[in-house]
């Protein structure tokens, strides 16, 4: 099995190993979504007008929660040195780790977004667009989150620092993803969101690998 495939399987297993598999981030996501009508009041008209885009906040928080341990565990147990020694480029390794996180967390999140958006009074015909846009959006979050996680990997209690570094860059996917959820469907904002996802998946692993090399020195 190639090094990349082995890394993918390992990271998938690690992400799902924290008892309950994909249920942990999905549960976090459902919990955060539940807070929305509690905060806004249960008025159905208000929720229908403003609710569906708020699944994006819950998705961003769920991805942020998973980022902290992404590279910290590898630095602590020495896997980072092994990755640097392998013939495969570190950028490819980081991309594969991000892909594993997306499969482990991002895909379950976008599937869980279907009932969540319905609970927030989204119209049924908008649900496929919301699910597809969240698949792209979680990829965008993870792409840029890789940079934050790599930079803050050696820091104690890095969660808040990662959030501070990464949240400004979450803004474009959230803006366009919320436009999709707010009624634009598969139109213009969806395409721009796809562009954001492509850009962060392309650039994130390069910057993250540069930061990881600094950790190993």
Partner 1 sequence: MISTFANPARFMAFSAWATPLFGALAAVLFAIGVPWGYALSPADYQQGETVRIMYVHVPAAWMSLIVYATMGGASFVSLVWRHALADVAARAAAPIGATFAAICLITGSIWGAPTWGTWWEWDGRLTSMLVLFLIYLGYIALWAAVDDEEKAGRFAAILCLVGLINLPIIKFSVDWWSTLHQRSIFQGSSMSVDPSMVGPLMTMFAAYAALFATLLLVNMRAAIHRRRVEAQRLRSAA
> Pick from 19, 41, 87, 168: which binds partner 1 (CB under 8 A)?
168
Residue 92 binds to partner 1 (criterion: CB under 8 A): no
Residue whose structure tokens are 């905060």? 39
Cβ contacts of 31-40, under 8 Å, gap ≥ 24: 32/57, 32/58, 32/61, 32/62, 33/58, 33/116, 33/119, 33/120, 36/120, 37/119, 37/120
Nearer to partner 1, 69 or 215 (CB): 215
Contact criterion met (CB below 8 Å) for 29 and 50: no
Residue 210 binds to partner 1 (criterion: CB under 8 A): yes
- In the complex, the smallest distance separating the C-beta of residue 26 from partner 1, rounded to whole angstroms, is 28
Nearer to partner 1, 21 or 172 (CB): 172
For residue 143, give the H/E element and its range: helix 127-151
Residue 188 binds to partner 1 (criterion: CB under 8 A): no
**Between residue 93 and residue 152, which ones bind partner 1 under the rule CB under 8 A?**
147, 151-152
Contact criterion met (CB below 8 Å) for 91 and 209: yes
Q: Which residues bind partner 1 (CB under 8 A)?
A: 147, 151-152, 154-155, 158, 161, 164-165, 167-169, 171, 175, 203, 207, 210-211, 214-215, 217
């Amino acid at each position: 099995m190639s090094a990349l495939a082995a890394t993918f399987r390992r990271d998938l297993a690690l992400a799902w190993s924290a008892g309950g598999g994909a249920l942990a981030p999905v549960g976090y996501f459902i919990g955060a979504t539940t807070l929305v009508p509690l905060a806004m009041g249960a008025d159905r008209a208000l929720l229908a007008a403003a609710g569906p885009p708020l699944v994006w906040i819950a998705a961003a928080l769920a991805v942020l929660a998973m980022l902290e341990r992404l590279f910290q565990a590898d630095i602590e147990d020495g896997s980072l040195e092994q990755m640097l020694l392998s013939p495969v480029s570190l950028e490819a390794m980081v991309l594969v780790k991000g892909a594993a996180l997306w499969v482990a967390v991002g895909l379950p999140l976008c599937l869980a977004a279907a009932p969540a958006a319905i609970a927030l009074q989204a119209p049924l015909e908008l649900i496929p667009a919301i699910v597809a846009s969240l698949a792209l959006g979680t990829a965008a979050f993870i792409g840029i989150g890789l940079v934050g996680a790599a930079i803050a990997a050696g820091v104690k209690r890095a969660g808040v620092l990662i959030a501070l570094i990464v949240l400004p860059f979450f803004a474009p996917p959230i803006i366009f993803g919320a436009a999709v959820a707010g009624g634009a469907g598969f139109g213009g904002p969806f395409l721009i969101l796809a562009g954001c996802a492509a850009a962060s998946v392309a650039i994130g692993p390069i910057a993250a690998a540069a930061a990881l090399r600094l950790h190993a020195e």
